[in-house]
Amino acid sequence: MSPIPSSGPLLVYLGNGVQGAAVVRAARRHGLAVRALVRAGAATAALRALGAEVVEADLDDPAAVLAASRGAAHAVLQFPAGPGETTLARARHALAAARAARLTSFVLKLSSAPLPAPCPEPSLRTNAELAALARSADLPGAVLWPTLYLDNLLKPSARADIVAHGMFAPPIAATQRIAWTSADACAEAALALLRQGVDGGSYRIAGTESLTGPELVQRLTAGLGRPVRYRAQPLDAFEREVDAALGAGHGRVVASKFRFFAASPQQADALLAAPLQAQPGLGDFQPGSIDAWIAAHRQAFLAPSSAPVGQPAG
């Protein structure tokens, strides 16, 4: 495996989030110097323990983002959920900073698929606009996006249902096949793209198997040694749950993508169902199995449901 050419650290946006922290861990495992960009006041002890440099920057402040970028060799970009125009503005700041700081290359990690208009779902349209910005950045880059993250099973509400009630209840039909991926797999994919030399492509990162809801919980049952059932949560109930956790109005925004999947099953299959396909830009990248992911997180599921867990994967 060839190393990533590096004249400076790898700049990782949102380095203390689920996705960013996975990139930091993977980069450090590969012996790379890492600069983790975090928002002011973020917890950073775990990043520093990994040997990462930590810089605070407001993603809405172009000067701060440029200062964080100077001296870096490459960047892995990801942005927090928010209104589309806010996210696009942050991406413009990040890409302008990468050019001004003369980074060698970047990978943009999207939270889900990019689908351009006339797609009716706002977050998927925003993803397509982000991908277009990356392609026009005048800097070597690539885009990757996931199917759905297994890490969402570790969100506090999902984990509590699994631990206390033996139930996994996402807002997705039980019959929907999903080639689940993980934050760690997407982190390794980002590094593989940097290692191979980014080519401007868009890469769908999926798992090795396509499972229905009942098939997934069969794997959970076997891996955890306790029964887990699948129940598709009604979307209205899901919206209310998100509103209760994040504030009024958030539920409608978060549920929008799942309503799109429910209303467009063929499109959902096209985005979610197929296992990972070989893609030259990824080299010998392999995402790991669902069973291995469950085994790696078994203790988190078996701990009391009140125990703290990581942030949502998004």
pLDDT one-digit tens code per residue, 281-297 = 999 899 999 999 999 99
Q: Look at residue 2 in the predicted model and tell me its pLDDT.
A: 61
Nearest to 187 by CA among 17, 71, 57, 46: 17
- Asked if 124 and 114 count as a contact pair (C-beta separation under 8 A), the reply is yes
Q: Give the model's confidence band at 7: pLDDT under 50 very low, under 70 low, under 90 confident, else very high.
A: confident
Query: What is the CATH code for 10-149+180-207+274-288?
Result: 3.40.50.720
Q: Model pTM?
A: 0.92
- Whether 106 and 198 have beta carbons less than 8 Å apart is answered as yes
How many C-alpha atoms does 263 have within 13 Å on its Cβ side?
Answer: 10
At residue 86, the pLDDT reads 94
Cβ contacts of 276-281, under 8 Å, gap ≥ 24: 276/179, 276/181, 276/204, 276/205, 276/206, 276/207, 276/208, 277/204, 277/206, 279/201, 279/203, 280/196, 281/142, 281/192, 281/193, 281/196, 281/198, 281/199, 281/201, 281/203
Give the pair of three-digit tokens for residue 128: 């397509």
At 251, the pLDDT band (50, 70, 90 cuts) reads: confident
- H or E segment at 26? helix 18-29
Predicted confidence band at 309 (pLDDT cuts at 50, 70, 90)?
very low
Among 121, 73, 96, 152, CA closest to 256 = 121
DSSP letters for 214-248: HHHHHHHHHHHTS--EE-PPPHHHHHHHHHHHH-T
What pLDDT, in 10s, does the model give residues 167-220? 999 999 999 999 999 999 999 999 999 999 888 899 999 999 999 999 999 999
Residue 312 has a pLDDT of 42
User: What pLDDT sits at residue 305?
Assistant: 55
The three-state secondary structure class of 183 is helix
The model's confidence at residue 306, banded by pLDDT at 50, 70 and 90, is very low
Backbone angles phi, psi at 139, to 5 degrees: -155, 140
Higher per-residue confidence, 280 vs 232: 232
Does the pLDDT of residue 304 top 80, yes or no?
A: no
